Amino acid sequence: MQPFVLSRPKTLAEAAELARASSQDSALRAGGIDLIDRMKEGLEAPARLIELRWLGDAEATMRALGPEGEGVQIGALVTLAQLAAHEGFGEAHAALRQAAGSAATPTIRNAATLGGNLLQRPRCWYFRHADLVCLKKGGTACLAVGGENKFHAILGGGPSFIVHPSTLACALTALDAQVEIRGPEPRTLPIAELFVTPKQDAKREHALQPGEVLVRAILPKPAAEQRSGYAAVKEKQSHDWPLAEAAVKLSLQSGVMTDVRVVLGHVAPIPWRSREAEAVLEGKPPSEALFAEAAKAALAGAKPLRDNAYKIPLAQGLLREVLHRVAGVPLPE
C-alpha cells in the first residue's frame, strides 16, 4: 500500500473543501472497510485520506439516529451495528434493522457506516483484480460476460454486469428514503437517484460529485399500518455476501395491500425496484397465489448469464418468503 497523508478536518465544510480541492488524489474515509480494502488490493492509491470520523460536535447530524419530524433521520456515520440494535424502528421500518443486522460480520458492522455502505464499490472479482482492466477501469468489455459470472447481474445488466453491493441500499430504497448531500450545492435526492446504472455511466455506481459528502438518510413519515421486511440468501449464512436479497414495504388496511414497494438486491447493478411485482400486489388482499404471481412478475425480465440462472428461482422464492412474513400470511408447509 502506498503511503498517504491522513487529514482530520473538524467541520464538514472543511472536509468537503479538502475533498473538492484534491479530488483526483484523495478519498473520504468513514469506517474504512471498503476503502482500505481497495487500497490494499492495489485498485487505488490516494495521496490523502480525509477522515470523517473526527468531525466535531457541530456535525452531530452525521451521527444522529432518531426522529426527524414524523420520519427518522440516520446520519451517514451511524454504524450498521447501531442500526441493527436501534429500538426506535417499529414494524414500519423493520426492513432496515433486519438488513443492517444481516450484512457482513459483527466486527465489520461495528465499524461500517451508513454512508460508506451506500457508496462502497462493487465486489466483482474482475473489478477487484488489480491486474485486470475491466469496463469499470477503462477497459472495453465487462469481463464477466465471457468469464465466471455466478455472482453477477440477471436484471438491468449491460454493458457492465456487476451487482450493487449495498444491503442498506436495498432496504432504504424499499422505504422511500431520501439522502441529503452537502457540497458546493447542497441537495436532497430520493435514494433511487443516488445510484447510477451502467448504461448511464459504466465507471461509477453513484451520483456524488467531487467535494460532495453524504450527510444523512431520511425515512419519510410511515403510512398508516405500514410494515416492512428484508431477507437475504447466502451460500454460507455468516461472513458472506448475499446471492440475492428482497426488501418489501406495504400498508395493510381493510384487508388490502397499498403503497407497496418491492426491491431486490444483488441481482442488478442498482437496487432493483420491481414495479411489475408492485402492480400485481397493489390494492389486493394478500394470498399465497398472489405472492407467487408477484414473484414471477419480478423476475420476468431476467436475462441470466451462463452461470447465474439459479438466481431466478432463488430470488422468486426469497421474495415470496418476505411477502408472507410482512403481510402476516403463514408460509405453506
Ligand X SMILES: Cc1cc2nc3c(=O)[nH]c(=O)nc-3n(C[C@H](O)[C@H](O)[C@H](O)COP(=O)(O)OP(=O)(O)OC[C@H]3O[C@@H](n4cnc5c(N)ncnc54)[C@H](O)[C@@H]3O)c2cc1C
Whether 164 and 195 have beta carbons less than 8 Å apart is answered as yes
Place of cell 430470488: 315
Question: Are 93 and 175 in contact, with CB atoms under 8 Å apart?
Answer: yes
Q: How many residues bind ligand X (CB under 6 A)?
A: 31
Count of positions (residues) in the chain: 333
Residue 308 within binding range of ligand X, rule CB under 6 A: no
Amino acid, res. 291: F
Residue 29 binding ligand X, by CB under 6 A: yes
Min separation Cβ 238 and ligand X, Å:
9
Q: List the x/- string, 246-285, binding to ligand X by CB under 6 A.
A: ----------------------------------------
Q: Does 95 contact ligand X by CB under 6 A?
A: no
CA nearest 262: which of 236, 291, 235, 223?
291
- CB closer to ligand X, 111 vs 329: 111
Residue 165, interface with ligand X (CB under 6 A)?
yes
For residue 27, state whether it binds ligand X (rule: CB under 6 A).
yes
Of 25-33, 135-143, 196-204, 295-303, the window that binds ligand X (rule: CB under 6 A) is 25-33
- Give the whole-angstrom CA distance, residue 151 versus residue 308: 7
Residues numbered 192 to 211 that lie near ligand X (CB under 6 A) are 208
Q: Which stretch binds ligand X (CB under 6 A): 153-161, 165-173, 254-262, 279-287?
A: 165-173
Which residue in 9, 31, 157, 229 binds ligand X (CB under 6 A)?
31
- Give the Cα separation of 130 and 40 in Å (integer): 10
CB within 8 A of 235, min separation 6: which ones? 243
**Helices of type H across 2-66:** 12-21, 33-40
Cα 107 to Cα 90: distance, rounded to the nearest angstrom: 25
C-alpha cell at 4: 498517504
4: contact with ligand X by CB under 6 A: no
Q: State which of positions 228-247 bind ligand X (CB under 6 A).
A: 239, 241-242
Task: Say whether residue 120 binds ligand X (CB under 6 A).
Answer: yes
Q: How far is the CB of 67 from ligand X (least distance, A)?
A: 21
Min. distance of Cβ 292 from ligand X in angstroms? Answer: 27
Q: Which of 9, 12, 16, 32 binds ligand X (CB under 6 A)?
A: 32
Q: How far is the CB of 263 from ligand X (least distance, A)?
A: 14
CB 143 within 8 A of CB 131: no
**Amino acid identity of 242?**
P
Nearer to ligand X among residue 98 and residue 113 (C-beta): 113
In the complex, the smallest distance separating the C-beta of residue 306 from ligand X, rounded to whole angstroms, is: 24
Query: In the complex with ligand X, which residue's Cβ is closer, 50 or 250?
Result: 50
Single out the residue of 9, 115, 156, 271 in contact with ligand X (rule: CB under 6 A): 115
Q: Are 149 and 305 in contact (CB under 8 A)?
A: yes
Q: Grid coordinates in use for 250?
A: 406495504
What span, in angstroms and rounded, lies between the C-alpha atoms of 25 and 44? 9
Q: Give whichever of 129 and 296 is closer to ligand X, judged by the CB atom.
A: 129
Angle at 262 between CA 230 and CA 165, to 5 degrees: 60
Stretch touching ligand X by CB under 6 A, among 32-40, 89-97, 192-200, 289-297: 32-40
1 contacts: CB under 8 Å, gap ≥ 6: 39, 40, 45
Where does this chain bind ligand X (CB under 6 A)? 27-35, 52, 76, 103-104, 108, 111-113, 115-117, 119-120, 165-167, 208, 213-214, 239, 241-242
